[in-house]
Amino acid sequence: MPEILNHRQLSEIANTFGTPVYIYHAERIAEQYAKLKKAFAHSNARFFYAAKSLTNVNVLKYIRSLGASLDCVSINEVKLGLMAGFSPSDILYTPNCVDFEEILAAKELGVHINIDNISILEQFGNRFGNTYPVCIRLNPHIMAGGNFKISTGHVDSKFGISIHQMRHIERIVKTTNLNVEGVHMHTGSEIKDINVFLLGLEVMMETVSHFPNLRYIDLGSGFKVPYQPGDPETDVDLLGQKVEQAFLDFEKETGKKLEVWFEPGKYLVSQAGYFVVKANVIKQTPATVFAGVNSGFNHLIRPMMYEAYHHIENITNNNGPERIYTVVGNICETDTFAWDRKLNEVREGDYLVFYNAGAYGFEMSSNFNSRLKPAEVLVKDGNATLIRKRDEFDDLLRNQVL
């Protein structure tokens, strides 16, 4: 059985730290990491946690303690990773559309650099030649993921250098003597079909002959986790078997033994996260019954931005009769978390929990409507520890010139 926090534990944490509150369960993160390690135990695999899903330094420190490396998409994520104790050799920096100065800053910090733009590749090669190895992010033109908004490998994506520009890449590598140590792809999120990874791997392996110093192929991530009962998830065990065989076949054919890298983010922290809110008002209209809570898309934007589903339960009246509610927030915008959800009767003051809230929850939060950001709590060995204080009014004025 997976590690879960029960209603009583969640209610106690909400009573202690107030609401809204994000709660992360350390043992569930460890459980997910162990599943990946087991699935790819016979491959030469490394796992780089995608920091963008949740960057609280305490979470980063815990994930480092499990043995993971770190995937960063901004220079500040790199700095947070270093603060959390990751060594530069365990950090992969994969920016997109950033100023070249930021890439130079990453180079000075000594981390792995992943370049996804012809112009940047040429600038970097002209400046450093073969003195600093790089990875190249390719766009394999594979449509994948739950929907177009979270697919990053299609032909219109801003991410990666088109696989059809390989001749241009070759010219830059040759003329600048660039040292390419890895090739990378990431096709999107919520990938149910492991054949997406295998097709991408096939594309990546076809590029290996162009880069004699290649050490690894990075397949990104996008592993799907279930969001509601009956939801499928990526079969990482089967994928592990297929990847192992593909690399063994490749080694026999070419004599090259390469590492395979993955960048799990949501897969590690999503199911470990809970978001607990309080019902402020119950409002009946001719069409529906609204349960209005003390949060909004300023704290959890995924349902509004991606039409993402989060299972919701009433944790303080879990034996009440089931009724149908539309769960909405307290923001002066349309911030509907869920339409027509069956919940145990919601009373004003009840606590509701959103499950699968560990990834891209707090990380995408804001102070819209001058609302305060919530607290974050980490539960480890049964102990709940505050890892981010709730915003106070003065935080709204921080950096304003008065």
Distance CA 234, CA 32 (A): 12
Q: What is the pLDDT of residue 196?
A: 85
- Is a pLDDT exceeding 90 seen at residue 146? no
Is 374 in contact with 295 (CB distance < 8 Å)? yes
Q: What is the pLDDT of residue 148?
A: 41
- Is a pLDDT exceeding 60 seen at residue 149? no
At 320-377, the pLDDT tens digits run: 999 999 999 999 999 999 999 999 999 999 999 999 999 999 999 999 999 999 999 9
- In angstroms, the Cα distances linking 48 to 17, 198, 265, 344, 378 are 31, 19, 8, 40, 21
What is the tally of helices (H) and strands (E) in the chain? 12, 18
Torsion of CA 222, 363, 278, 396, to 10 degrees: -160
How many C-beta atoms surround the C-beta of residue 254 within 10 A?
12
Dig out the tokens for 207 from the structure: 């590029």
Q: What is the pLDDT of residue 122?
A: 97
At 46-60, the pLDDT tens digits run: 999 999 999 999 999
Question: Which has the closest alpha carbon to 199: 226, 163, 159, 225?
Answer: 163
Q: What is the pLDDT of residue 195?
A: 87
The contacts of residue 385 (CB under 8 Å, 6+ apart) are: 58, 377, 378, 379
Dig out the tokens for 295 from the structure: 């949060």
Distance CA 76, CA 89 (A): 17
Distance CA 341, CA 120 (A): 48
Higher pLDDT, 112 or 204: 112
The pLDDT of 22-31, averaged and rounded, is 98
- Is a pLDDT exceeding 60 seen at residue 153? no
Distance CA 27, CA 41 (A): 20
Q: What is the pLDDT of residue 147?
A: 43
At 258-308, the pLDDT tens digits run: 999 999 999 999 999 999 999 999 999 999 999 999 999 999 999 999 999
Q: Is 299 exposed, middle or buried (0-12, 13-18, 19+ CB in 10 A)?
A: buried
At 213-240, the pLDDT tens digits run: 999 999 998 888 988 878 888 999 999 9
The percentage of the chain sitting over the pLDDT mark of 90, rounded to a whole number, equals 84
Distance CA 87, CA 259 (A): 19
The contacts of residue 164 (CB under 8 Å, 6+ apart) are: 141
| Catalytic (active site) residue 72 | no
In a 3-state reduction of DSSP, which class is residue 178?
coil
Q: What's the residue count for the chain?
A: 402
- Is a pLDDT exceeding 90 seen at residue 79? yes
Dig out the tokens for 395 from the structure: 């935080």
Rounded to two decimals, the pTM is 0.94
Q: What is the pLDDT of residue 178?
A: 97
Which neighbouring-strand residues pair with 262? 47
**Residue 2 pLDDT grade (very low, low, confident, very high; cuts 50, 70, 90):** confident
- Is a pLDDT exceeding 70 seen at residue 155? no
Distance CA 20, CA 219 (A): 36
The pLDDT of 75-94, averaged and rounded, is 98
Q: Which of 72, 97, 135, 332 is catalytic?
A: 332
**Structural domains of the chain, ranges and CATH numbers in brackets:** 40-265 (3.20.20.10), 273-397 (2.40.37.10)
In the numeric block, the tokens 């994930």 are attached to 63
- Is a pLDDT exceeding 80 seen at residue 154? no
- Is a pLDDT exceeding 80 seen at residue 100? yes
Lowest mean pLDDT across 7-21, 25-39, 162-176, 186-200: 186-200
- Is a pLDDT exceeding 80 seen at residue 144? no
Question: Which has the closest alpha carbon to 149: 297, 307, 276?
Answer: 307
